[in-house]
Structure 1
């Protein structure tokens, strides 16, 4: 049940009646007609902008349309009143029985309440994390992992066919550096002094890799030149790093469907095939780029390169795909990788990048638009930085990592549930402060605690009802008659519950899972407000002493709230708390 969608359907039906009666002209576009919560709750339960958006194309005054539409809507059994306000908005008040139907629907559908067919099975690829396999993931990867995973779950909840994908950047020079760094730890495992020279990875995380190399090869590699061991150690170390990355992701509750290797694109003709696709479209040429704006680098020289005409698709400049020496640029395999996504049949692509990839957005969008001839959209979400604090001070780097705080550090300090929720308390493109003291604080100012506490409170009520010997199962509660009058505090809570399906679709359309976290905080606030009112007004308490029937009516609403909280936390990848410790 999606109450806002249902009432919007009633508005559209009334508008179609007005068209058939000649009150409105044929051919009007109703796509911008909305039904949403009013800005001021005192104005009603819902509001529609129908008259405002149709006035100009209908060549009518908005208030004239609004008055005729309101008269039709007033005849709907679910609508208690339809009042025209201002220049032509219509405020709607619903019958009390409607809110009982919402509660019954939640309890009947369980955590599936709010699921949508918005996505209509569209195949979407969400690529996220994609950290270089050269070491443990840092706190920036943590935020990207949480965001990408929550977005994938949100889209699945909204009816998309979602694939979670990790792109292994194992084709560049950084994996050669990894191999050399791992070799020094191998020498250390063999009793020699490692030479961790500048440019190598210094973290202690490579010590076990060196020991694993010794266990496999003994001392056979010690006296061999680099060209004899580099490729083999590179592959061995990369596999060990990916094992560590998978373990770190599992700590956070993240599981990928696909791990795609960049290295698999080289020597297989896939890069050439993708560029041939662009060449056939007339988008590859030999040319010389303009010099960078501002002060020229000392090593700048004009040189002919193979270029992609990305400016045809909105980029600022054309981009090189092959260097003057014939080597591929970093951009070339990325083009080929996205071409494989298109060939694999995805209808929508989403990439989750770190903030440092901002300059990469336009060229990547241009490439996908060109490769798919504008058929497959690409949405790129940039993840801004996370600042860590503890005891009022910046959290220091991890010795194990060498230069940064790891994902494992964060999860071990705060826990996976707290980490995941807090990483979604800001929009992805806004910086985020992660204070270990505050995220574990038990107060209203801590959204993680506040939402979990609301769920735990309802679980406490259910336990007490069970101790009294009362049947408060969802099946029984779904049948409770809630058609009577509602107290304003109860009405405020059930209205917020009714917004859940609408909120899911808004968040999914925008690819913004943080909206789920914001909504859950607001929903929890309504539950806590009702609970606190019950401290002063016994008639509002969920447990009415000695009265099972009255208690069931109250608990049905509380349980419906808990079901929606559980569904929302499920999207965020957070386990609902049944009691607070």
Structure 2
């Protein structure tokens, strides 16, 4: 198989193409779609080789051949390829493949020429994908509860971009509904305080529907700003005037102030969205009503009565006619209400407008990062997206479990409404942006996580942030110590001297980077990047330690310039891939560690 020798590529994709070519030669009567499920992956046991393919197993039935027999024929065909050292049938129809060392060594100069673009893929085909994440109610500063979703969403967007998608990073501002109105009441109280009201907080709270919910000090500057702009016009004589016009004005200015703070918090975390979309503006512009009308026109909206929720007794349930969306027609458990009893939109109806807007803007795939407590909302939103797009725009939802923050073994508690929580800015100030971002990606997003403020700054192998950064710093240290003549044009260095198992293991790990990018993007799992970097760092540290024990494996040997250049090329390649991976994670690589 020919390829551009100046371009680094995914050797797993290369071998998969060779497997399919061999199978087509062996089975010329099979249609092209017969090979769609052929995979080439790392074997579960590394002692079995560099790769394994299921090719014979997945096409044997169509070929009307026993899988082991076809696997033997496929292995013989693969063994004849110039890059294959050995191919052997295994189990019920797998083929294990071992690559020639010269083929593996040949990937290093390709990697060095590509630089940090190594691993860039065309798999996404520039499909327009919208990644919506954070999207917190603008009711206060960002807190640790928002942090994980922010990091996961941002890293996932970076990952999809590297995998070849045209990515839009979006923040959907939830600025309509009861919670934002409660925020307006809270800001109104801070305004009343600023102008010197005679009311006590309890007296004011008694006048507010549902009572005063947000009491954080972060609203004091909002109250002062309202006073500076309006004087006492919003509360003549220091007494509140709960007209819609007054509350809407306070709400708008408070949301604007909160969004300024949220943007600053996100920027401190290294998160910058491409677009901010307002729920309230979509409603005002008629986007939501238009989307509902579209569903009505498709015959997917009706007046009906829902069955009582599970766990409710007849005495608890008051059936009433509701405007319902036929979400069960698209895989949901029950049909979903679009209107509340007062005639206003449900949250779901407004979310339909949000997704209709994304589709109208030409998005071809939607990816959203939600808290795990919204898991029950996934099916209905996927149903609505299918209905709106006629099934052409898929919606993937990534759920993030809550993060428990501890310090010195004790939990750090937070309470958003009481204003006594640990903010995102607190966390960044405590351990640094890079440590926050890397640590948030060291677990799968739907797994529980404990963020230990003490351990995350430890300089030990048990701290994955330090371990990966230390590997990069060591690489850079080696390259700084080497004579500049030896580090020039490392992509043309002869590599035949790289024969130690630890060196070859490191090269094998490096060549897995493009496949890791594509697989992680396809699975919507950015934590795989952190796992990969941990494994890569481990391989490098092993080689480093081997050099301390065996002088012939040291990276720099003045009396051996050729082997030194080979090892410097390997070191430079390792540093390049670490930087490439950290860029996906949004983490800055360090040049040295003291």
TM-score band w.r.t. shorter chain:
over 0.9
Report deviation, 1:401.
6.8
CA distance in 2, matches of 1:40, 1:292: 49
Indicate how the Cα distance of structure 1 residues 321 and 410 shifts in structure 2: closer, same or farther if over 3 A, else same.
Answer: same
Query: 1 CA distance for matches of 2:315 and 2:461?
Result: 56
Q: Which sections of structure 1, spanning at least 5 residues, go unmatched?
A: none
Q: 1:64 aligns with which of 47, 60, 69?
A: 69
What residue in structure 2 maps to residue 576 of structure 1?
589
Aligned partners of 1:126, 1:60: CA distance in 2, in Å?
A: 45
In the alignment, the residues of structure 2 paired with residue 401 and residue 98 of structure 1 have an alpha-carbon distance, to the nearest angstrom, of 62
CA contact (8 A) 1:98 1:483 kept: no
Query: Given the alignment, which residue of 397, 401, 410 partners 1:380?
Result: 397
Of residues 67-76 and 362-371 in structure 1, the stretch that sits farther from structure 2 once superposed is 67-76
RMSD of aligned Cα (Å): 1.8
Aligned residue runs from structure 1 range 29-48, under 5 A: 29-48=34-53
Shift of 1:226: 2.3
The answer on 1:472 being equivalent to 2:487 is: yes
8 Å CA contact retained: 2:494, 2:562? no
- Secondary structure at the residue paired with 1:82? strand
Query: Which residue of 1 is the match for residue 19 of structure 2?
Result: 11
C-alpha contact (below 8 Å) 1:382/1:428 kept by paired residues: yes
Matched residue SS, 2:405: strand
Matched length: 574
Cα distance between partner residues in 1 of 2:358 and 2:133: 14
Q: Is the 8 A contact 1:204 1:400 kept in 2?
A: no
Match of 1:462 in 2: 479
Verify: 1:112 aligned to 2:112, yes or no. Answer: no
Paired with 1:233 and 1:99, the residues of 2 have a C-alpha distance of: 64
Distance 1:393 1:130, change over 3 A: same
Q: State whether residues 185 and 212 of structure 2, in contact with CA within 8 Å, keep that contact through their aligned partners in structure 1.
A: no
Structure 2 partner of 1:560: 573
- Return 5+ residue gaps in structure 2 as ranges: 1-8, 206-210
The residue that corresponds to 2:4 in the other structure is none
Partner of 1:328: 345
Would the aligned equivalents of 2:283 and 2:353 in 1 still touch at CA under 8 Å? Answer: no
Q: CA deviation at 1:82?
A: 1.7
Structure 2 residue 536 is matched with structure 1 residue 520: no
Q: 2:276 aligns with which of 242, 253, 259?
A: 259
User: 1:155–1:508: 8 Å Cα contact kept in structure 2?
Assistant: yes
Secondary structure of the corresponding residue to residue 60 of structure 1: coil
Partner residue of 1:448 out of 444, 454, 465? 465
Paired residue for 2:220, among 188, 202, 207? 207
565-574 or 259-268, which deviates more: 259-268
Q: Tell me the residue number matched to 1:497.
A: 510
**Structure 1 SS opposite 2:137:** coil
Name the CA shift for 1:27/1:413 in 2 (closer, same or farther; >3 Å): closer
Alignment of 1:291-440 (within 5 A): 291-296=308-313, 300-397=317-414, 402-440=419-457
1:94 paired with 2:99, answer: yes
Residue pair 1:147, 1:423 contacting (<8 A) in 2 also: yes
Quote how far apart the aligned CAs of 1:545 are. Answer: 3.2
Deviation of the 1:484 alpha carbon: 4.9
1:50 and 1:30 map into 2 onto residues whose CA distance is: 8
Q: Deviations over 1:46-86 (max 9, x none)?
A: 22221222222211122221222222222211112222233
Q: Which of 201, 210, 213 matches 1:195? A: 201
Shift in Å, 1:399: 9.4
Cα distance between partner residues in 1 of 2:52 and 2:153:
34
Q: What is residue 179 of structure 1 aligned with on the other side?
A: 184
How far apart are the structure 1 equivalents of 2:216 and 2:84? 65
Residue in 1 that maps onto 2:153:
148
| CA shift in 2, pair 1:17/1:176, >3 Å | same
CA deviation map 1:515-561 (0-9, x unaligned): 11111101111001111111111111111134333211111111111
Against the structure 1 CA distance between its residues 27 and 523, is the aligned structure 2 distance closer, same or farther, given a 3 Å change threshold?
closer
C-alpha distance in 2, partners of 1:231/1:579? 53
Deviations for 1:130-185, whole angstroms, at most 9, x for unmatched residues? Answer: 00011011212100000000000000000001001111111112222212211211
Cα distance between partner residues in 2 of 1:129 and 1:43: 43
* Partner SS, residue 334 of structure 1: helix
TM-score of the superposed pair, with normalisation by structure 2:
0.93
**Structure 1-normalised TM-score?**
0.95
Q: Equivalents in 2 of 1:26, 1:181: separation in Å?
A: 66
Relative to structure 1, the CA distance from residue 565 to residue 485 in structure 2 (aligned partners, 3 Å threshold; closer, same or farther) is closer
Q: CA deviation at 1:310?
A: 0.8
Following TM superposition, by how much is the alpha carbon of 1:97 offset from its aligned partner in structure 2, in angstroms? 1.3
Q: How far, CA to CA, are the matches of 1:420 and 1:470 in structure 2? A: 37
C-alpha distance 206-435 of structure 1, shift in aligned 2 (>3 A):
same
Equivalents in 1 of 2:229, 2:30: separation in Å?
A: 80
Paired residue for 1:277, among 294, 310, 314?
Answer: 294
Task: Please report how far the alpha carbon of residue 421 of structure 1 lies from its aligned counterpart in structure 2 after TM superposition.
Answer: 0.6
The answer to whether the 8 Å contact 1:204/1:399 transfers is: no
Matching residue within 214, 223, 226 for 2:242:
226
Q: Deviation digits for residues 195-244 of structure 1, max 9, x if unmatched? A: 26343311111111111112212233231622152111111111000000
SS at match of 1:175: helix
> Equivalent residue for 1:529?
542
Given that 1:99 and 1:483 are in contact with CA atoms closer than 8 Å, whether structure 2 keeps it comes out as no
Please give the alpha-carbon distance, in whole angstroms, between the structure 1 residues aligned to 2:536 and 2:465.
13
Query: What SS does the aligned partner of 1:83 have?
Result: strand
**2:238 is the alignment partner of 1:238:** no
* Deviates further, 514-523 or 265-274: 265-274
- Within 1, Cα distance between the matches of 2:328 and 2:415? 43
